[in-house]
Structure 1
């Protein structure tokens, strides 16, 4: 029988997503010992190993984020100011946007996010309160009744297995893997309209109705040079594909506007609306740096054309998962190859052979793509309270969002669902600035496991608003704070929510730590 290494701690965070980092910071700063595991070399999830610049609401510079998330944003900006040759104007810009991408007010290199997160976590690691196990993934969980007592993680390089024991576990994996391993009641895909009452829910529940994943990549453009990659194996498949409801080929600069489904024409470097694809998620604008520093801009490609919606990776067998992950990577490589060889140019020619894949930006993977796919949708706990469309959707609530007395944070984003593995197209709805209720963090049965990301108690529809960077961070911060609070007082999360004095005590602690619990009156997005 194999002998397991055993680590005992106060709070075990399985998975190293963005919410995991927030949870670790919260629990460790409250004096608890924390173990954090991550399946790749970079913790930070969608901000780092998935290579997605932050999707944020328009008020992010003034409100609507926790103090620790604000610190993360400032650490990122401080890195550029301290270590890189910015122009004077860029250096003095209080709201520096290194890439000047129009998707976000802080489009930046994922390596800088890794550095900023390490800077924030380092004091707790050096002080012995935080231990990080990188390149380790969960493979099993031990339970006793309604409690998780241990989780086994395996080193992806070493093969060693480690048993982590703790009174509290936080699942911060990208797909809610611990929920499945520990037998925690959860939902995959879309609930039925009869279950949630949502007008945009399907008539029948469909676990395969999951948002597309995207394998992102970074590229630059060196005009006059030749950097065309080898023709991808599946290129002909993707080049020929004409998705239903799409205005043309999957590999095309013509897409649809998510809000209206009208045809959207946008060039690679030029566009009538001043928003070409190149600047969408640009993470390095070379004009923001001293001459000679960068030969080209760098942009991250997380565009509709490399959304992989053909099949799910969550809740399917290992073989199907592997096929879909491989096909998603092939789609992204095919999109790059099409841009290099067939994309129409304004001068009448085709192809931009000077587009150069920048695998170094995402950690130097073998194929040059991000090491992890961008996961928009996870398993989600069946919770004491499930947030649904009619809690937050502007069309259903003209007078404002639901007010949750048990709020442990806030967030804001449109209800933005990308095309689905069930064949559904875009669903994009106006949404009010919303709260994160404590009830959405508490499983209906299990007492000591908390969600640390997109796996909280929200419906498939509401997940479209709760899935973005600052919300995931806020969920993780609330979970880490709650775990430390319960350990300190010897109470359960369920008891905290259902005891007014305890709930008030927790909310007061969150407010003191810089967590906003309610929005002022604002217009919907």
Structure 2
């Protein structure tokens, strides 16, 4: 397709972008996805984070298309890997037996499955993907975005236009380019009324980014990496609220902020795996926490080692934000996040305490191939917080906090386009805040949160929807981001078909009801069943 021949242009190919593209494609639309890396999937793939999901995910609380993604990942292992008979028969196969999720798997497997999901549309010529492209400019005419300019890996600029543009970038990069009103960091309690918000707004105070990595352990071998240049700095680094050096096994318990010492012993016997964060956060045993390949799931001798992903509090980068700063400063912070991660790796290899009284696990070996990289790190940093649109509806803490809502449950939105569930889980921030961890109720996704207040043909399709800094903490996880993107892509296609604007659909009860019926028929759950014990 040539530029200008699209119905929907999607900036960003993370989970929201992929779901948006598939939703529009299922409805016969022509779609462009421009992705900054060479993989689609965002936090699930390029950022290397196994899915964070709620306790009922195997039964309800996700869209049909998200379940197809999860089923595809399991089928990939059943078809191609030498599983044990017990693992192959397990309907809830968890390849890594990780404690963070009922489906801990290799990022590259998810990337392969996503490639399979989009393959028919590539073959049909209705989907175009520009890899290694990022938005750098936008042409705006009043309250409409006419086109977006993307820069490729060699500096070449490509222009794309469509009736509807979706921002599914990890940082909400399209928003400032198009002059779309947005917010960053903490809003003030005066603005939002939130119990956990500060008295004054803090726009540069954002959740830490992390650059994750994967390791295996080969006993008797030495895979010690070169000592990072600023290892001494990170070895001595200690935030004021941290119980000890950041490089260590002791960190705050997110739920009560008390010091908690984790264990890290490669291949230790872990006992039955409970992948239910409502009962157990899963982070007490760091080897099993985000393990993506567990030897016991595979025929004897197939794997020399488990493989686990290091995405721990100890690699949260706190020195500054990566939004709202110059490109030079952003690069400095991203380089710092990489160096912190490699310093943690070096510490594990040389100084981490062992049960035998010794120090260091020299046999730890980086597995960059898990991410498709040479340096051992994920392709991209794990981004927890984005720019957020000034939306027609902003979700606030008191809409879904368990302390506030209690037995009444979360606020029910008449414009719900999906559901989600996760604790309000805010990591330490660049402004010096410790964890904010608030129990929440199963919640809905209001359509108004995807719509900018002013701009007519742009939709938020990821972590950039109308949440606050606080509620972003539970709307940022995998199935919710997918649902957000799916609703945005479906709405764009719906509006193309009917010659409507998203605002018209949102404001007219009859049009809104028609769109919600379409979503339900396509397998989007619009409300929760009655659930207890969360």
Q: TM-score, normalised by structure 2?
A: 0.96
Query: C-alpha separation between the residues in 1 aligned to 2:450 and 2:237?
Result: 40
Offset at residue 524 of structure 1 (A): 6.0
Indicate which of 101, 105, 108 corresponds to 1:108: 105
Corresponding residue of 1:25: 22
Asked whether the equivalents of residues 432 and 523 of structure 1 are also in contact (C-alpha less than 8 Å), the reply is no
Check if 1:314 corresponds to 2:323.
yes
Indicate which of 261, 264, 270 corresponds to 1:268: 264
Offset at residue 523 of structure 1 (A): 3.0
Q: Mapping of 1:2-401 within 5 angstroms?
A: 6-156=3-153, 158-269=154-265, 275-365=284-374, 367-398=375-406, 399-401=408-410
Asked whether the equivalents of residues 433 and 524 of structure 1 are also in contact (C-alpha less than 8 Å), the reply is no
Corresponding residue of 2:436: 427
Provide, for residues 54-92 of structure 1, a one-character-per-residue CA deviation record: whole Å limited to 9, x for no partner.
000000000000000000000000000001100110000
Classify the secondary structure of the residue corresponding to 1:308: coil
Q: TM-score, normalised by structure 1?
A: 0.97
Query: C-alpha separation between the residues in 2 aligned to 1:419 and 1:499?
Result: 41
Offset at residue 160 of structure 1 (A): 1.6
Corresponding residue of 2:275: none
Query: C-alpha separation between the residues in 2 aligned to 1:56 and 1:520?
Result: 17
Asked whether the equivalents of residues 430 and 524 of structure 1 are also in contact (C-alpha less than 8 Å), the reply is no
Asked whether the equivalents of residues 47 and 110 of structure 1 are also in contact (C-alpha less than 8 Å), the reply is yes
Offset at residue 400 of structure 1 (A): 1.2
Offset at residue 469 of structure 1 (A): 0.2
Offset at residue 7 of structure 1 (A): 4.1
Query: C-alpha separation between the residues in 2 aligned to 1:30 and 1:436?
Result: 21
Check if 1:475 corresponds to 2:484.
yes
Query: C-alpha separation between the residues in 2 aligned to 1:523 and 1:492?
Result: 38
| Structure 2: 5+ residue stretches without partners | 272-279
Query: C-alpha separation between the residues in 2 aligned to 1:364 and 1:503?
Result: 45
Classify the secondary structure of the residue corresponding to 2:92: coil
Provide, for residues 250-302 of structure 1, a one-character-per-residue CA deviation record: whole Å limited to 9, x for no partner.
00111111000111111102689994100000000011011221110000100
Query: C-alpha separation between the residues in 2 aligned to 1:355 and 1:12?
Result: 43
Query: C-alpha separation between the residues in 2 aligned to 1:386 and 1:192?
Result: 14
Query: C-alpha separation between the residues in 1 aligned to 2:515 and 2:371?
Result: 38
Offset at residue 9 of structure 1 (A): 0.5
- Residues 175, 42 of structure 1: alpha-carbon distance in 2 compared, 3 angstrom cutoff: same
Q: Mapping of 1:454-465 within 5 angstroms?
A: 454-465=463-474
Offset at residue 159 of structure 1 (A): 2.2
Aligned length: 519
Corresponding residue of 1:522: 531
Classify the secondary structure of the residue corresponding to 1:323: helix
Asked whether the equivalents of residues 29 and 124 of structure 1 are also in contact (C-alpha less than 8 Å), the reply is no
| Structure 1: 5+ residue stretches without partners | none
Classify the secondary structure of the residue corresponding to 1:214: coil
Corresponding residue of 1:415: 424
Classify the secondary structure of the residue corresponding to 1:6: coil
Corresponding residue of 2:456: 447
RMSD: 1.2
Classify the secondary structure of the residue corresponding to 2:3: strand
Offset at residue 152 of structure 1 (A): 0.5
Classify the secondary structure of the residue corresponding to 2:140: strand
Query: C-alpha separation between the residues in 1 aligned to 2:122 and 2:48?
Result: 25
Query: C-alpha separation between the residues in 1 aligned to 2:325 and 2:532?
Result: 40
Classify the secondary structure of the residue corresponding to 1:504: helix
Provide, for residues 111-133 of structure 1, a one-character-per-residue CA deviation record: whole Å limited to 9, x for no partner.
10001101111111111111000
Classify the secondary structure of the residue corresponding to 1:497: helix
Provide, for residues 405-452 of structure 1, a one-character-per-residue CA deviation record: whole Å limited to 9, x for no partner.
000000000000000000000000100000000110110000000011
Offset at residue 371 of structure 1 (A): 1.3
Asked whether the equivalents of residues 306 and 332 of structure 1 are also in contact (C-alpha less than 8 Å), the reply is yes
Query: C-alpha separation between the residues in 2 aligned to 1:499 and 1:188?
Result: 30
